[in-house]
């Protein structure tokens, strides 16, 4: 039996740093996923086509999508659909 006490070495420190980095990334990553819902107002309940959305949210609209925004036409995949939406539920 060896009497040598365990002492944290360089490898242990690297391992601990990696574990901490992963935890920090997971925590930050999860808090960033807060895509805004589609507002539940008359305008948004009655806008039932992608073309209508883009009249206001296209580059020349009153509220353009931010630069680098996803080009998908399936808005409600990310921005939740208004409760009383008049389009066909998907
Ligand atoms: C007549 C113009 C108009 C149309 C059409 C329209 N929007 Fe909007 N939208 C706005 C305005 C103005 C705002 C910001 C103010 C607000 O909250 O009402 C907004 C806000 C939003 C937001 C919240 C993000 C933010 O900027 O606060 C989302 C998401 C959104 N719209 C998605 C859609 C989708 C999806 C459609 C089509 C189904 C759509 N909009 C159609 C004018 C419009
Ligand atoms: C792949 C996911 C995804 C899809 C699909 C998507 N969006 Fe977005 N959108 C985002 C994210 C992420 C943001 C920026 C952060 C946020 O909304 O909180 C954003 C931001 C926006 C904003 C600006 C919000 C603000 O704060 O000013 C508008 C307006 C918007 N989206 C409209 C639309 C419309 C209209 C569609 C459909 C044509 C659409 N989005 C489809 C993910 C998506």
Does ligand 2 have an atom closer than 6 angstroms to the CB of 77?
A: yes
DSSP letters for 29-59: HHHH--PPPPP-SHHHHH--SHHHHHHHHST
pLDDT of 38 > 60? The answer is yes
* Atom of ligand 1 minimally distant from the CA of 79: 29
pLDDT of 46 > 70? The answer is yes
Ligand 1 centroid distance, CA of 38 (Å): 6
pLDDT at 6: 82
* Atom of ligand 2 minimally distant from the CA of 64: 29
Name which residue sits closest to atom 18 of ligand 2, judged by CA.
Answer: 35
Q: How does pLDDT run across 16-26, given as a tens digit for each residue?
A: 999 999 998 88
Reported as a pLDDT band with limits 50, 70 and 90, residue 59 is very high
pTM attached to this predicted model: 0.79
pLDDT at 26: 84
CA distance 67 to 30: 22
């Amino acid at each position: 039996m060896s009497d040598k006490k365990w002492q944290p070495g360089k490898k242990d420190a690297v391992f601990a740093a990696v574990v901490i980095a992963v935890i920090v990334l997971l925590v930050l990553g999860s808090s960033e996923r807060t895509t805004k819902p589609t507002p539940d107002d008359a305008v948004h309940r009655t806008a039932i086509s992608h073309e209508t959305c883009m009249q206001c949210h296209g580059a020349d609209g009153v509220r353009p999508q931010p630069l680098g925004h996803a080009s998908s036409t399936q808005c409600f995949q990310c921005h939740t659909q208004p409760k009383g939406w008049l389009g066909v539920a998907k």
